[in-house]
Structure 1
Amino acid sequence: MNIKFLGGAGTVTGSKYLITHENQRVLVDCGLYQGVKKLRLRNRGGFPIDPKTINAVILTHAHIDHSGYVPALRKNGFKGPVYCTKGTYDLCKILLPDSGYLQEEDARYANKKKFSRHSPALPLYTEKDAIESLKLFKPVQYHKPLDVANQITATFTPVGHILGSAAVQISAGGKTITFSGDVGRTEDLVMRPPEPLSETDYLVVESTYGNRRHDETDPFEFFKNIINKTMERGGIVLLPSFAVGRAQTILYIIQLLKERNEIPDVPVYLNSPMAITATEIYCNHHKEHRLTAEECEKIDKDTHFVRTPEESIELNNRKYPSIIISASGMASGGWVLHHLKALLPNHRNSVVFVGFQAPGTRGDAMVNGAEQVKIHGAYHPVRAEVSQIDSLSAHGDYVEILDWLDQSNINPKQVFVTHGEPVASDSMRLKLEEKFGWKVEVPDYGEEFNL
Structure 2
Amino acid sequence: MHIQFLGATGTVTGSKYLLTEGSRKVLVDCGLFQGYKELRLRNWAGLPFRPDELDAVVLTHAHLDHSGYLPLLVRDGFRGKIICSEATYDLCAILLPDSGHLQEEEANYANRHGISKHAPALPLYTEDDARRSLGHFAPVAFNHRVEVCAGVSVELLRAGHILGAAIVSMRWGEHKITFSGDLGRPHDLLMPAPSVVEQTDYLVLESTYGNRRHDPADPELLIGQTIRETAARGGVTIIPSFAVGRAQEMLYYLHRLKSSGAIPRLLPVYLNSPMAVNATGIYHKHRADHRLDAAQCESMCHAAKIVNSVEESIALNNRHMPMVIIAASGMATGGRVLHHLKAFASDPRNTILFAGYQAGGTRGAAMLAGVGEIKIHGQYVPLRARVAQISNLSGHADADEILGWLSHFTRAPKQTFITHGEPDAADALRRRIEETLRWPCRVPTYRDRIAL
Interval of TM-score (by shorter of Structure 1 and Structure 2): over 0.9
Q: Is the 8 A contact 1:328 1:336 kept in 2?
A: yes
The AA in structure 2 aligned to 1:269 is Y
User: How far apart, in 2, do the equivalents of 1:246 and 1:77 lie?
Assistant: 33
User: How far apart, in 2, do the equivalents of 1:61 and 1:198 lie?
Assistant: 22
Other-structure match for 2:295? 294
1:85 maps to 2:85:
yes
Other-structure match for 1:326? 327
* Aligned-residue offset at 1:407: 2.0
Other-structure match for 1:26? 26
Other-structure match for 1:239? 239
Other-structure match for 2:305? 304
* Structure 1 SS opposite 2:34: coil
* Structure 1 SS opposite 2:393: coil
Q: Is the 8 A contact 1:316 1:342 kept in 2?
A: yes
User: How far apart, in 2, do the equivalents of 1:309 and 1:407 lie?
Assistant: 49
1:448 maps to 2:444:
no
User: How far apart, in 2, do the equivalents of 1:425 and 1:374 lie?
Assistant: 30
Other-structure match for 1:356? 357
Other-structure match for 1:167? 167
Other-structure match for 2:279? 278
- Report runs of 4+ in structure 1 exceeding 6 Å deviation: none
* Aligned-residue offset at 1:410: 4.0
Other-structure match for 2:407? 406
User: How far apart, in 1, do the equivalents of 2:303 and 2:450 lie?
Assistant: 52
Equivalent runs, 1:48-447 vs 2, <5 Å: 48-265=48-265, 266-447=267-448
Q: Is the 8 A contact 2:251 2:301 kept in 1?
A: no
Distance 1:307 1:409, change over 3 A: farther
- What are the superposed Cα offsets for residues 174-214 of structure 1, whole Å, 9 maximum, x if unpaired? 11110000000011111011010141100000000111111
The share of aligned pairs that are identical, in percent, is: 54
User: How far apart, in 2, do the equivalents of 1:380 and 1:292 lie?
Assistant: 43
User: How far apart, in 2, do the equivalents of 1:118 and 1:217 lie?
Assistant: 47
User: How far apart, in 2, do the equivalents of 1:126 and 1:440 lie?
Assistant: 40
The AA in structure 2 aligned to 1:289 is H
Superposition CA RMSD, Å: 0.9
- What are the superposed Cα offsets for residues 107-149 of structure 1, whole Å, 9 maximum, x if unpaired? 1111111111111111010111101100000001111111011
User: How far apart, in 2, do the equivalents of 1:49 and 1:114 lie?
Assistant: 35
Q: Is the 8 A contact 1:57 1:81 kept in 2?
A: yes
User: How far apart, in 2, do the equivalents of 1:334 and 1:176 lie?
Assistant: 40
- What are the superposed Cα offsets for residues 204-233 of structure 1, whole Å, 9 maximum, x if unpaired? 000001111111232111111111111111
User: How far apart, in 2, do the equivalents of 1:323 and 1:247 lie?
Assistant: 13
* Structure 1 SS opposite 2:98: helix
Query: Structure 1-normalised TM-score?
Result: 0.99
User: Is there any run of 5+ residues in structure 2 with no aligned partner, and where?
Assistant: none
* Structure 1 SS opposite 2:407: helix
Q: Is the 8 A contact 1:21 1:172 kept in 2?
A: no
* Aligned-residue offset at 1:21: 2.3
* Structure 1 SS opposite 2:359: coil
* Aligned-residue offset at 1:283: 2.2
Q: Is the 8 A contact 2:223 2:390 kept in 1?
A: no
* Structure 1 SS opposite 2:5: strand
User: How far apart, in 2, do the equivalents of 1:174 and 1:21 lie?
Assistant: 13
Q: Is the 8 A contact 1:14 1:33 kept in 2?
A: yes
User: Is there any run of 5+ residues in structure 1 with no aligned partner, and where?
Assistant: none
User: How far apart, in 2, do the equivalents of 1:351 and 1:409 lie?
Assistant: 45
- What are the superposed Cα offsets for residues 415-444 of structure 1, whole Å, 9 maximum, x if unpaired? 100000111111111111112111111001
* Aligned-residue offset at 1:319: 2.0
Other-structure match for 2:8? 8
User: How far apart, in 1, do the equivalents of 2:284 and 2:274 lie?
Assistant: 16
- What are the superposed Cα offsets for residues 130-170 of structure 1, whole Å, 9 maximum, x if unpaired? 01100000001111111011111111110100000111011
Query: Structure 2-normalised TM-score?
Result: 0.98
- What are the superposed Cα offsets for residues 278-299 of structure 1, whole Å, 9 maximum, x if unpaired? 1111122122111111011122
Other-structure match for 2:36? 36
